[in-house]
Chain A
């Protein structure tokens, strides 16, 4: 009994230590490098992972999710060092709310029609409204969903209504749309060209006519109260010109428009 009590107490103490260890984020990783925490829109996954591996000034850790979810986390008090979104609206809003520093535009992208393998009869946007077609899109709150609605709003009302009626799932981020297409659950959807490139043979892209194409710009900002503001700034510099910009071009992102 005595022994087991001692065991129990040491076990409790050990678990408290583990908890403390998890919470005690002093910003430095094992190699003495600072640790940079970056909240990143899902569509940037491949480019940022490539850039992060070669980023010298700090060890970069990424949290990938829909831009809107990441913004909501920052509003709830989560403090990454950087926030990179698939639009400029969300970083601008957070800037107005005093939560991040002045956002910087660092990349552009194109929205395309993404078609699952084997759906060869889909040749353009007019084929999406056909009855029985199954579409997966981003939810309205995530940038890809907002761009999708922007495209549809430029179509004649009847055509956009027919397409919306075929939407079978509103996914929380581009990853969800890609998954539904690669699994053949949905016939088509709207994605960024970079997502389609990353998905390989399972998904093909159909370009949108120029008059329907929304302006897709990515904004990044240092979060106010960041633990590593210097490394965060260097990370942004690399995105504009350097290894980050190279990784973005490799993944198919365009330079920021204008």
Chain B
């Protein structure tokens, strides 16, 4: 995340520089070509007309709503949890952090199977949930849980490092002036870590918006209820490739906008300066 030294460009660095440039070129082409192809494969006119499809708009709107609710949950629970992990040392802290980060590397389909085994009708908590009248499978609530599961670690990790990067002197000063921890958290820590928290929220939101496997396995796929934009893309892939491209294009634009917004957000500068 930090770049210790920026090497000045000097001609004649030779083979190594050439190797670096080649590597960067490979990375750049490999990562951008598929995204560019989405816009090249179908013209803008075709893309716009395929979006004029109630099913596509419904899927997009469901994706935004589910992502929004899941972000609220992630921030509400993730922020205090990250603060605790950033400010306390205790036995097993490393284990707790690893467990929280685990969904980052767990395949999404596995997440779906796990959610089903935990919260499905035959799952560990299935009977209790049914007793309480709570239904998750085949419901939008199930989609929200699937998104929350896969996206949370992106936020918690970022929040943890944002809190960890705060100047200890700042926290100490607040405490010596007699502020309670809660007051320090809300008045000092949150505003100063805001850039990092927003960045974490954006990453988590981007991940949630793109979620596919866990949603399909746990919540199913039904237009208007559980069929998010990625599921709608998969359905269109077989019989309406242009429609699939159009929805994909929307997701690419939104993801790019999220990333750009985070990079340009003024709040990000506060922390950005400390980290650049």
Contacts and interface: CB of A to CB of B under 8 A. Distances in A.
A186 B220 CA distance: 10
B103 interface: no
Contacts of B238: 66, 68-69, 71-72, 141-142
B121 interface: yes
B122 interface: yes
B23 A169 contact: no
Contacts of B217: 179
B116 to A, nearest CB: 5
Contact of A184 (B121, B227, B234): B121
* Contact residues on B (Cβ < 8 Å of other chain), bracket: 20 to 34
A91 to B, nearest CB: 14
Nearest to B138: A168
B122 A9 contact: no
Contacts of B23: 12
Given A176-B221, A185-B220, 12 more contacts: A5-B16, A8-B19, A9-B16, A12-B22, A168-B222, A169-B226, A170-B235, A171-B220, A171-B221, A172-B216, A172-B221, A172-B235
B239 interface: yes
B138 A72 contact: no
A185 B137 contact: yes
Interface residues of A, number: 29
A29 to B, nearest CB: 27
A134 interface: yes
A125 interface: no
Contacts of A139: 221, 235
Nearest to B220: A169
B132 interface: no
Interface of A: 5, 8-9, 12, 66, 68-69, 71-72, 75-76, 134, 136, 139, 141-142, 167-172, 176, 179-180, 183-186
Contact of B220 (A76, A136, A184): A136
3 nearest CB pairs, A to B: A169-B220, A68-B238, A168-B138
Interface string B124-150: 001000000000011000000000000
B77 interface: no
Nearest to B236: A141
A170 B19 CA distance: 49
A180 B217 CA distance: 8
21 contacts: A9-B15, A66-B238, A71-B238, A75-B241, A134-B138, A141-B238, A142-B238, A169-B138, A169-B221, A170-B220, A172-B216, A172-B234, A172-B235, A183-B122, A184-B120, A184-B121, A184-B122, A184-B126, A185-B120, A185-B121, A186-B138
Nearest to A90: B238
Nearest to B22: A12
Interface in B215-270: 216-217, 219-223, 225-227, 234-235, 237-239, 241
Given A169-B226, A185-B116, A72 B239 contact: yes
Contacts of A186: 138
Given A72-B237, A169-B222, A5 B121 contact: no
A170 B222 contact: yes
A97 to B, nearest CB: 13
A143 to B, nearest CB: 11
Contacts of A5: 15-16, 19
Contacts of A183: 116, 120-122
Contact of B19 (A9, A66, A167, A180): A9
A3 to B, nearest CB: 11
Given A5-B16, A183-B116, A141 B235 contact: yes
A68 B239 contact: yes
Interface in B18-35: 19, 22-23
A167 B15 contact: no
Contacts of B137: 168, 185
